[in-house]
């Protein structure tokens, strides 16, 4: 089938009028930037063009929900980046609720408004990209969404690591094994005194100010406080702390109580308990959600 026939397939199955099909296909060819290519065959298109053709075919019947399962998986990095930007702009035009399945964290952070992180079939956290990155619900999300280092017993993002030329209170000794310039930033790879690998992201100005070199011994410490919410526990990662103080666990689910303080609130409370009703108390500091 030609590109035109591929896009029209869903409309033909639904027995739409030929004139309506032609208008819809031309509209979509313009929308996905494939104008003038309707008579070509998929084998004559580039990888990115084939992906856009497939998306146009899915959009043709005007679905209420669109499922994209690893749509850019077979493409090279440059084309993937271009299609992510294009898909974001396209979504602003068509306004179709889209479920985008991917193992690429960068892809999810760039494309999605809301992200659901799953681990072995279990939903770990749902939130905006910023919420998942800055306020992860547990250690799995912290490590899965973006990079994370363990420094002095706490999990720290690479850009939250401070490198010091001299020993300081709460800092851990480490040796620089490699550094890479990434435009305006520098990626510094280190091994701490236990042999564990650490990664720090510094601005170019800070990197040049420290005059770092491979084999140099420096001291690392977290420079930003971060709260990590775990199941039933809150972990606090304060600046300059070698170990993370553990706050008392607060119950995530509590049975309903009457204002008088009596459990269940009398007959009404008993009826609610028999019906399986629960009220949930959420720790605002950690933004925990009941499962």
In order of their start, the domains of the chain are 3-111 (3.40.50.300), 147-226 (2.40.50.100), 250-291 (no CATH)
Dihedral of the alpha carbons of 48, 54, 55, 60, in degrees to the nearest 10: 150
Distance of CA 151 to the CA centre of its chain: 23
Per-residue pLDDT 10s for the chain (291 aa) are 999 999 999 999 998 999 999 999 999 999 888 988 999 999 999 888 998 899 899 999 989 999 999 888 777 888 888 888 888 888 888 888 899 998 888 888 888 999 999 999 999 999 999 999 888 999 899 988 888 888 877 888 998 899 999 998 888 899 999 999 988 899 999 998 888 899 999 999 999 899 999 999 999 988 865 555 444 333 333 333 333 333 344 344 433 333 334 444 444 444 444 444 333 333 333 333 334
Euclidean distance between CA atoms 227 and 237, whole angstroms: 6
Total number of residues shown for the chain: 291
Residue 8 buriedness (CB in 10 A; 0-12 / 13-18 / 19+): buried
Residue 279 sits at φ, ψ, to 5 deg, of: -110, 150
End-to-end Cα spacing for the chain: 47
Euclidean distance between CA atoms 111 and 106, whole angstroms: 9
């Amino acid at each position: 089938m030609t590109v035109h026939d591929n896009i029209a397939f869903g409309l033909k199955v639904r027995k739409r009028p030929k004139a309506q099909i032609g208008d819809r296909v031309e509209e979509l060819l313009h929308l996905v930037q494939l104008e003038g290519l309707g008579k070509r065959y998929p084998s004559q298109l580039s990888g990115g063009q084939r992906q856009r053709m497939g998306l146009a075919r899915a959009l043709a019947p005007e679905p209420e929900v669109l499922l994209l399962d690893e749509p850019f998986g077979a493409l090279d990095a440059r084309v993937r980046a271009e299609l992510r930007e294009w898909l974001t702009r396209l979504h602003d035009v068509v306004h179709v609720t889209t479920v985008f399945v991917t193992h690429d964290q960068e892809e999810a952070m760039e494309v999605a408004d809301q992200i659901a992180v799953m681990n072995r079939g279990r939903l770990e956290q749902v939130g905006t990209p910023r919420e998942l990155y800055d306020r992860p619900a547990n250690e799995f999300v912290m490590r899965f969404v973006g990079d994370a280092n363990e420094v002095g017993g706490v999990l720290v993002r690479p850009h939250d690591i401070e490198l010091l030329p001299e020993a300081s209170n709460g800092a851990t000794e480490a040796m620089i094994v490699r550094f890479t310039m990434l435009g305006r930033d520098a990626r510094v790879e280190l091994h701490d005194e236990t042999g564990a690998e650490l990664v720090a992201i510094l601005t170019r100005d800070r990197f040049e100010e420290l005059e770092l070199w491979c084999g140099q011994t420096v001291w690392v410490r977290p420079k930003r406080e971060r709260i990590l919410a775990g199941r039933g526990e809150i972990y606090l990662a304060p600046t300059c702390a070698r170990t993370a103080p553990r706050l008392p666990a607060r119950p995530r689910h509590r049975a309903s109580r009457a204002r008088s303080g009596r459990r269940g609130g009398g007959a009404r409370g008993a009826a609610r308990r028999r019906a399986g009703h629960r009220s949930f108390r959420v720790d605002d500091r950690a933004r925990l959600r009941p499962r």
